[in-house]
Homo-oligomer: A and B are copies of this chain.
Amino acid sequence: MAAFPTTPPATLPAPAPQDSLILRLDSAARLFLAQHHMGEHALLPELQTLCLPVVTLWSRLLRYDPATPDWPDRDRFVVPSASMLPLLHAMLHLSAPTPPPQTLGYGQHPAVEIAPGPAGQGIAAAAGMALAEQVMATRHGRSLVNHRTWVLARDTDLQTGVALEAAQLAGRFGLNRLAVLVSPAPTTDPAEFADSLARFSASGWSVRSVGAGNLAAITTALTATLRARKPTLVAFLPEDTPHPTAAPPEEELTGPWSPTARRGASVRRSWLRRLARHRGRYSFERECSGAPPPLLAEDWLRLWRQTLQHQPTHSSQQAAMAGLAALAATRPELTVLTATSGARSAPAHADQPDWPCGLQEHGMAGMLNGMALHGGLLPCAVAGMITIDRMRAALRMTALMRRKVLYLLTDDGLALSGNGGGWQPVEQLASLRAMPNLAVFRPGCAEETFACWQAALRWNGPALLVLCPHDTPDTPTPPPGRFGSATHGGYLLHGGPQRQVTLVSSGPEVTIALAAARALEETGIRTAVAALPCWEVFATQPEAYRTAVLGETGLRVGIEAASGFGWERWLGPNGIFIGMDDFGVSAPASAVYERFGITTGAICSRVINHLAASGGNEAIPVHAPVLT
């Protein structure tokens, strides 16, 4: 930490326009842009247009202390596209006591709030940060949480579906501490840009257009956002009047002497004094660190068990919702966003209403990224399983940045009659399992749901719980020799090491696998049942454990009401997969299970036929006693 000047800081907003100071800093920023970003990419013309507004923002308003760039109550200055980063680089250069790294990217400097991603994701993430600020301010008070979120957007961001969905949510939630700064690209049709602004205006935003060379107007527009009752979009229009190149700034305007650094240090010192006196200090600090409270697992488990004793359930979906309510009571930083299609009857907790996001799932998923990036919250989404396709681009950013977001995906069932195949998940599980850093859990009974949820909270990255509304009878109490548990990702539920057949299954199909195992054993075939609720966690177990669960010899049969893509990993070259090889059909669950052969009878005949056909290859005779 560098030493800071002790001169009295300027108050917020700046008392009198120190225009010449800002113009000199603006010249210095332009000089930096010209000098440091010649080779790589051509500089975006919007960077020139936005330079003076950004310099004004940093000099007069932004709460940012270069000495502690990750201070929790800092303003978030979100730059979602790589081509806009040079402007942030320039501001860091002018205000930081030590120069920032030569290349600036997510993870390289705390002031880079987000990894560059597809267009529109940054606006959605910023809306999530603003929502996080609002939620935390409600919980901890304005003396600890009192910052804003600024986004340096591109005009193309405004046209994307994800930004338009997030804009509707920001308007609906009244996120008035969110401000988007944008400038039209020279190639943009002015009428289309005006349409973009009108769409934001129609989404409950306050929209202003300002000439980018008019310092007084810029200051007025930026200061107005402090009083705004809606999220704000400020469009800075390029102006022909060339900016007068002032002399480069003297040393007392940059580095630790920059107005940003001086104001930021002062504001943070006051904040630290308030924090030291605050009676909620320890819970605030714990939540900002992201650590779970002590004794979380015990408290949560006890509460959950109480709920389930009152209302026993046999569906993973109902059990998970009870778990969500119990988690909300034990971990108050849990914040739940729900999509309409997600089955969620009542809010988790009286003090913590859910945030209803309608059918704006993509905007919602983008906001979850921002909430996770903001820190201090445990963001959780409740949505229908099939809608994950729409959230995928945002979810990928969560995985790429390894942020903690929990998804409860409901209605992963075969019984979605009436609506047709468009609502029946088929390839979604496989497509999610293919994504790096993401863990996909598909629990069966209530017990397994709890274990999976514990593992999901421990997972380093986003985790999905894929839930089914079907009744899944509790699996019978396993014998003492049971091997492993659901927290291992996969475990042996039935049977021992010596077996001819291992049925490997997940979710509600585990019950069918258990029934099939009993039927096969009646014909003299020694059968084991392995539950595989999470591939990613199971893959981290030692190979000896995995082999013990899946069986060293004998036939492996995968059973899952979904596409079999990727199952060869666990079943080997001679395994059988029983699932769905096509889009779903519109019928009651039992008929669909019948159609795809996911029934006790169909499984038994597939297994018996296979064993008879492969005969000697399996090394263990069929219909004959097995020596242990």
Contacts and interface: CB of A to CB of B under 8 A. Distances in A.
Contact of A419 (B116, B386, B583): B116
A582 interface: yes
Interface string A182-211: 000000000010010011011110000000
Nearest to A438: B427
A118 interface: yes
A420 B115 contact: yes
Contact of A360 (B161, B387, B573): B161
Interface in A100-119: 105-106, 115-119
- Copies of this protein in the assembly total 2
A568 interface: yes
Interface stretch (A65-73, A162-170, A321-329, A514-522): A162-170
Nearest to A340: B156
A9 to B, nearest CB: 36
Interface in A568-606: 568-569, 572-573, 581-583, 586
B40 A156 contact: no
Given A82-B418, A420-B82, A583-B400, A161 B159 contact: no
A462 B107 CA distance: 39
A583 B461 CA distance: 13
Given A118-B387, A400-B422, A420-B106, A160 B434 contact: no
Contact of A359 (B156, B172, B198, B418): B156
Contacts of A396: 389, 422
A523 interface: no
A159 B430 contact: no
Contacts of A156: 340, 358-359
A297 interface: no
A30 interface: no
A433 interface: yes
Interface in A399-450: 399-400, 418-422, 426-427, 430-431, 433-437
A274 interface: no
A201 B106 CA distance: 38
Interface of A: 40-41, 82, 105-106, 115-120, 156, 159-162, 164-165, 168, 171-172, 192, 195, 198-199, 201-204, 340, 358-360, 362-363, 386-387, 389-390, 392-393, 396-397, 399-400, 418-422, 426-427, 430-431, 433-437, 563, 565-566, 568-569, 572-573, 581-583, 586
24 contacts: A82-B420, A105-B420, A117-B422, A118-B387, A120-B359, A156-B340, A161-B162, A161-B165, A164-B164, A164-B199, A195-B202, A198-B198, A198-B201, A202-B202, A389-B392, A390-B393, A400-B583, A430-B430, A430-B565, A431-B434, A434-B563, A436-B582, A437-B583, A566-B568
